[in-house]
Structure formats: C-alpha cells, structure tokens
C-alpha cells in the first residue's frame, strides 16, 4: 500500500474510516475487502489520487487489470507524473500483454523519476516482450547497477542473452539468479540453465541440473501453478509422466480465467470454420511444413482463419501463407483475452494451436475457451497439460493409444504420419563432396541435429562408430560458436582425431538440401529425434537410422521412416542402432537401394503427399466436429484411412 498519504482537508470522517479499513485489510492481504474499502473511500472523495493508487494496487492483486489501468491513469491526471502510478500501470499492462503501452508509460516519466531499480527492471521487461533485446539488456544492466543482487533481474538478463544466441552469458546469468535465491521463477530458470548448458554441450553441468530439475518437479504438489521451460523437459527427458506433470503445473496458470461468451450456434449449416493460432506464420519450420496443407484445404467444406501473433518477416513464405488462407488476421497487438473474444465472435468451430509450449506461445488464448473444439498440432512434440485443450493430433507411432495416459488431451491419430511436408520445397541439385570439403570415398555419417539433442551417451555411441568404421567421417552442423569447441574437446577425450569430424555452416534451405544429399547415412539423436531435420534428410535421399523411445519427441523419426516405408531403420535398442549403422556403412549397394527408394518416395510416399495428408487431416477434423455437434465429449480418435476420391 501507499504509506504516506496526505489527506485533503475536504475528506470527510467517513472517508477516512474507509481508508483505514482498506489499509488494515491490505496489510493482511485481504485484497477483496481492501478493494471494497478503498472503492468506498473513492466514492466519497473521487479526487484523491492516493486513494486511487491504493485501489489500483488492490485490483492488481485481484487480477482486475483493466481497472488498474483506469485508476492509475486517473491518479496521474489528478496528481501528475508518479513512478508508483506508472509501475502499477505497467504491471497491469504487462499482464494484459499490452507491452507497447507499458513501454510508453515508463518512457513518459521525466528523467528525475527514472532512477529506481524497479523502473529499469520493468523497462527491460517491456522491451524484452517487444523483442527489443539489445535495449532490454541495457535497461537490465542499469537495474543491476542500482541493485546488483536482484535475482530476477539476472534471470531476465539471461533470457535476453539466450534469445540473442549468447548461451554462455545466459548460463552465467541463470546461475547467478539461482545462487541469489530466485523464488517464483526457480523451475523456469533451472530449466533454461539446463537447456542452455545442453546447447553449449556442457554435459556434466547439464546432467546435474537435469537431476535437480526432476527432483524439484517431483516434490511440487499437483495443484500449484508454475512457470517452467517445457521445451527442456520434452527434449532432454524420456519420461512421459514427468513431462505431463510439468505441463499440468504450467497449465494451472490459466485455470482462473473465465470463458469468453460464444455466439449461440445459430449459424446455418455450412462450412466448418477452422482457426489456426500461431506466431510462426513466416519463414519458420512449422510454416514450411504446413504451407501446402493451407493451400490444399477444401474451401467448399472449410472456412479457414489464421490468427497471427508473431512477426511479419516480409518473406516469400509469409506471402504464400497469407494468399492461401481465406481470413488472415494480424493480432499481435491484442491480449489473449481480446484474441479469444475475436475468435468467439468469428464463430470458429475448431481452434488449432500450432505452438504448444514453444517460445512466444499464446496458450492462454485457449484457456478462455473461444471455440467448442480445441486441439494442438505440430508445433510442439508433447502435451499442453491444460484441460481446455481437447485433442492432440498425432499418429499410431508418436501417439499410440496405449500412451493415452501421457497426455492431458484425447489422442487424435492421423492414419500414417502426423507431420505434413511441402512437396514444393527445393529438390537437391547435383553437388560434389569436394564442394563442401568432404573426402570423396569416405562413408559420411551425418548428424545435423541441434547441439542440445547431442548427449554424452550419444557422443559415446558416435565415437564408437568412428572407431569401428575407419573409413567413416562424422559431419555435423556448426550451429553456433559456443558448442563447437566443447564438442571437439569431447571428441578428443574419446580418442577421435578431429580430422574425422567435419563442420557444415548454416545455409538457406535450397543449398542445405543439396549438400545434405552428399551424406551416406543420417544418424539420429535420442531422446529427442530429428523432426524437420530428419524429414529434410529423407527428402534429400539420405536414409535415417533412429532410436525410438517412450515419448512423442523420441518417436518422430520413427513415424517419418514408417511413412516412407523404411521401418527396418527404426531401432528399439542402442546396440541395434549401432549394428544397423555399421551394416549400412559396410554395404554401399544397400545404401544405393535405399537412396533410390527415397528419391521415388518424393512422388509416391505418404510422407510427401500433401494432398493425401490434407484429405486425411480434414477427415480427422470432421470427426472432432461431429462429436461436438452431437453433444459428445472428446475421446481418443484412432487412425482411419480416407479413400481417395
């Protein structure tokens, strides 16, 4: 509460009594009673700015964020610029996801009021939310210059560094924040630290922090709401029930939200309205995979909406998607609740999340239940953990019905593979190994997955393969400068000559697919497989050998291989994985047969048949919709094949 209150001479005795009641309630954190008392005081003296600010504080604690903005703005109108008013308003605007307004509010303060740690910390948070990362770093640095031991500021600075690709600096910030006693964001910071260490291939540290992460989760009660790095749990763990618990803890964040009002179902029977929610309608892996699905949608049966909350990169892919979707709406400036309200007004029948628990997701939209059927698809290989998501779209390989207990959603299976692919992606052009520095006659084992997917166990197996295959070389993608020296050190410690490890720079998709075709075998990682990376390899004609696990993320490459008819390359044990790779390395004739089969698969296999995929996908959506209009609750939908028309 505001401690120093200058009571106006005009304030009546009764107003003073309400004021004192409010202060007493606030001290005991009885925010509902405090708000009622301050509201009574405001009714009797509407011109007192301090009453308004205390009322705003109580409303903030009650989640009445729109009221906070109203009261703080009125207080500033009455009493002039105030850091306290600005900070209260910014907290509310942040929770309403009105980050540009939050920034403007802070920057409107005179320089004499921009002196506190809290000001610069809030300023940095607003800039980070607007993706102004360098400016955010500057503000967080100013905050730390005032209060160097603030754990949350170190944590927020780490988030900026991570998104800027400065993984080592991010790790240091997370460690500092945790050491200083970070409280509300401990699980998230520990997850980010673990993930950043894996990105940098600092395996000893990552293994210890992953153990701590599991320990923290194990001791958390199921009904608490937490922030967590779900991506770290899904990609680094092969325990599906652990993943489900973390997702549910995160889903608890939205359980207090009230559903938006949907229009009565008076719309005449006609096309099914399908809405996609994503921040990745630009040159992004999800959009690359989905592009032809959008184009193949049957417009006589489906009316398609896109709600884009991410950037417009002005790319060819962005324009392509905009042209293929009937109603493309840029909703970046809207809050979750406002977007949910718009979706409800649009009368969407099936709302599809394409982000899951990835960066900048807007899963909060789904908590408002703007559509009668809500499903998650493609963007995240795991459960959302929220009760407002009805279905997760998978297939018999990544989401077998026997794994139903691993998901908060009902499983809805595509008949072959859940992953769509764009047949319009570039075809590999002819290249020579000399063009990319690879030895002409070597067996090239390609491991182009991102560094966080490579563990010490994977490294042990790969180095064992190099020892057993003297004619083989390992070809890795040089994702970022901080991982490579650590990987090279690990190779040397295992006795591998670094001349047998070749590094490929990052290239655009066309050039990447062309050079990828020079590999002999794509060797997959576990417990998180290659996903888009593996389908790129298959498109380039390179056989993929994978190790299948217990989770969605560990079974994706198996699904891809099944969809091109190469089930023999799916392994259930590490020794089988090793033996399969060695057998292929010793058998150039078999590799040639597999390559020919994959070239043929571009035109004939289900994995690359976007028209067939869309037909099956639409049939699955119709099954969801049909259950809903019959008043039936979501249930697992087993794979069904749709006959070609």
Domain boundary among 176, 193, 210: 193
Query: Considering the domain boundaries, does residue 245 fall inside one?
Result: no
Query: Considering the domain boundaries, does residue 298 fall inside one?
Result: yes
Spatial contact of 209 and 192, defined as CB atoms under 8 Å apart: no
Among 517, 538, 544, which residue's Cα sits nearest to residue 431? 517
- Categorize the per-residue pLDDT at 113 as very low, low, confident or very high, splitting at 50, 70 and 90: very high
Query: Considering the domain boundaries, does residue 217 fall inside one?
Result: no
* Phi-psi region at 43: left, alpha or beta (left = phi > 0; alpha = psi -120 to 50): alpha
CATH number of the structural domain spanning residue 319: 3.40.50.11380
CATH number of the structural domain spanning residue 55: 1.25.40.10
Q: Output 548 or 359, whichever has higher pLDDT.
A: 548
Q: Which pair of tokens denotes residue 336? A: 């979750």
Is pLDDT above 70 for 91? yes
Is pLDDT above 50 for 266? no
Query: Considering the domain boundaries, does residue 614 fall inside one?
Result: yes
Q: Output 552 or 11, whichever has higher pLDDT.
A: 552
For a pLDDT cut of 90, what percent of the chain falls above it? 88
CA–CA dist 13, 480 (Å, integer): 67
**Same domain for 379 and 502?**
no
Query: Considering the domain boundaries, does residue 233 fall inside one?
Result: no
What pLDDT was estimated at residue 257? Answer: 77
DSSP assignment, residue 90?
H
Query: Considering the domain boundaries, does residue 19 fall inside one?
Result: yes
For 306-333, write each residue's pLDDT tens digit: 999 999 999 999 999 999 999 999 999 8
Q: Output 464 or 1, whichever has higher pLDDT.
A: 464
Is pLDDT above 70 for 570? yes
**Same domain for 344 and 485?**
no
Is pLDDT above 90 for 171? yes
**Same domain for 619 and 586?**
no
**Same domain for 596 and 488?**
yes
**Same domain for 530 and 381?**
no
- As for how many domains the chain has, the answer is 3
What pLDDT was estimated at residue 262? Answer: 81
CA–CA dist 161, 171 (Å, integer): 9
**Same domain for 188 and 263?**
no
What pLDDT was estimated at residue 19? Answer: 82
Domain boundary among 143, 171, 193: 193
DSSP H or E stretch at residue 180: none
- Categorize the per-residue pLDDT at 4 as very low, low, confident or very high, splitting at 50, 70 and 90: very low
- Categorize the per-residue pLDDT at 10 as very low, low, confident or very high, splitting at 50, 70 and 90: low
Domain boundary among 161, 193, 225: 193
* Mean of pLDDT values over 206-231: 93
Place of tokens 């059927």: 373
What pLDDT was estimated at residue 3? Answer: 47
Spatial contact of 475 and 462, defined as CB atoms under 8 Å apart: no
Q: How many helices (H) and strands (E) does the chain have?
A: 26, 13
- Categorize the per-residue pLDDT at 86 as very low, low, confident or very high, splitting at 50, 70 and 90: very high
For 47-69, write each residue's pLDDT tens digit: 889 899 999 999 999 999 999 99
Is pLDDT above 80 for 415? yes
**Same domain for 383 and 479?**
no
3-class state of residue 201 by DSSP = coil
Is pLDDT above 80 for 438? yes
Is pLDDT above 50 for 5? no
Query: Considering the domain boundaries, does residue 461 fall inside one?
Result: yes
**Same domain for 461 and 577?**
yes
Neighbours of 384 (CB within 10 A): 27
Least confident range from 248-257, 310-319, 390-399: namely: 248-257
CA–CA dist 281, 313 (Å, integer): 9
Is pLDDT above 60 for 268? no
**Same domain for 369 and 447?**
no
* Mean of pLDDT values over 431-460: 98
For 326-367, write each residue's pLDDT tens digit: 999 999 989 899 999 999 999 999 999 999 999 899 999 999
What pLDDT was estimated at residue 14? Answer: 75
CA–CA dist 532, 483 (Å, integer): 21
* Mean of pLDDT values over 286-303: 97
For 572-604, write each residue's pLDDT tens digit: 999 999 999 999 999 999 999 999 999 999 999
Is pLDDT above 70 for 264? no
**Same domain for 266 and 413?**
yes
- Domain limits for position 66: 12-193
For a pLDDT cut of 70, what percent of the chain falls above it? 97
What pLDDT was estimated at residue 84? Answer: 95
Mean pLDDT of the chain: 94
Query: Considering the domain boundaries, does residue 138 fall inside one?
Result: yes
Handedness of CA 91, 93, 95, 97 (dihedral sign): negative
What pLDDT was estimated at residue 258? Answer: 80
**Same domain for 104 and 33?**
yes
Who contacts 268 (Cβ-Cβ below 8 Å, separation ≥6)? none
**Same domain for 511 and 623?**
no
């Amino acid at each position: 509460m505001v401690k120093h209150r200058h009571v106006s001479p005009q304030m009546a005795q009764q107003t003073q009594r309400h004021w004192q009641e409010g202060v007493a309630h606030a001290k005991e954190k009885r925010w509902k009673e405090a708000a009622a008392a301050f509201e009574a005081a405001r009714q009797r003296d509407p011109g007192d700015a301090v009453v308004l600010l205390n009322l705003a504080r109580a409303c903030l604690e009650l989640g009445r964020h729109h009221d906070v903005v109203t009261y703080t703005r009125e207080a500033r109108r009455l009493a002039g610029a105030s850091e306290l008013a600005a900070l209260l308003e910014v907290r509310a605007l942040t929770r309403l996801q009105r980050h540009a307004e939050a920034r403007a509010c802070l920057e409107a303060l005179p320089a004499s009021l921009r002196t506190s740690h809290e000001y610069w910390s809030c300023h940095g948070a607003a800039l980070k939310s607007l993706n102004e990362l360098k400016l955010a770093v500057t503000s967080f640095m100013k905050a730390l210059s005032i209060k160097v031991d603030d754990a949350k500021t170190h944590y927020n600075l780490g988030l900026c560094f991570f998104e800027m690709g400065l993984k080592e600096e991010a790790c240091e910030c997370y460690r500092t924040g945790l050491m200083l006693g970070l409280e509300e964001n401990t699980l998230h910071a520990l997850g980010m630290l673990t993930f950043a260490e894996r990105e940098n291939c600092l395996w000893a540290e990552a293994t210890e922090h992953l153990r701590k992460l599991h320990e923290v989760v194990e001791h958390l009660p199921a009904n608490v709401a937490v922030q967590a790095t779900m991506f770290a749990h899904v990609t680094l763990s092969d325990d599906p029930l652990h993943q489900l618990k973390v997702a549910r803890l995160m889903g608890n964040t939205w359980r207090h939200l009230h559903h938006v009002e949907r229009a009565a179902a008076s719309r005449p029977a006609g096309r099914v309205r399908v809405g996609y929610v994503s921040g990745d309608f630009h040159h992004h892996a999800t959009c690359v995979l989905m592009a032809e699905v959008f184009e193949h949608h049957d417009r006589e049966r489906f009316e398609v909406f896109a709600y884009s909350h991410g950037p417009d990169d002005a790319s060819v892919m962005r324009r392509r998607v905009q042209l293929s979707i009937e109603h493309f709406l840029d909703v970046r400036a809207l809050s979750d609740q406002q977007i949910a309200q718009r979706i409800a007004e649009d009368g969407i029948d099936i709302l599809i999340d394409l982000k899951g628990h990835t960066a900048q997701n807007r899963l909060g939209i789904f908590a408002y239940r703007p559509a009668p059927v809500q499903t998650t698809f493609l963007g995240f290989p795991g459960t959302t953990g929220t009760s407002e998501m009805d279905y997760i779209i998978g297939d018999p390989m990544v989401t077998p019905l026997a794994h139903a207990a691993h998901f908060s959603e009902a499983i809805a299976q595509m008949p072959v593979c859940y992953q769509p692919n764009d047949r319009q992606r570039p075809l590999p052009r002819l290249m020579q190994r000399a063009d990319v520095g690879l030895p002409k006659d070597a067996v090239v084992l390609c491991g182009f997955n991102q560094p966080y997917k490579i563990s010490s166990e994977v490294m042990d197996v790969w180095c064992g393969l190099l020892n057993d295959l003297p004619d083989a070389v390992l070809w890795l993608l040089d994702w970022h400068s901080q991982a490579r020296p650590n990987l090279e050190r690990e190779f040397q410690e295992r006795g591998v000559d670094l001349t047998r490890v070749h590094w490929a720079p990052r290239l655009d998709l066309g050039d990447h697919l062309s050079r990828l075709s020079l590999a002999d075998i794509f060797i997959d990682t576990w417990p998180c497989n290659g996903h888009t990376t593996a389908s790129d390899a298959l498109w380039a004609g390179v056989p993929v050998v994978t190790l299948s696990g217990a989770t969605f993320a560990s079974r994706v490459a198996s699904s891809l291989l099944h969809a091109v008819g190469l089930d023999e390359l799916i392994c259930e044990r590490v020794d089988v994985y090793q033996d399969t790779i060695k057998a292929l390395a010793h058998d150039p004739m078999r590799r040639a047969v597999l390559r020919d089969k994959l070239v043929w698969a571009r035109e004939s296999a289900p994995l690359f048949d976007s028209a067939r995929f869309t037909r099956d996908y639409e049939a699955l959506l119709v099954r969801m919709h049909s259950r809903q209009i019959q008043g039936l609750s979501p249930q697992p939908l087993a794979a069904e094949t749709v006959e070609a028309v």
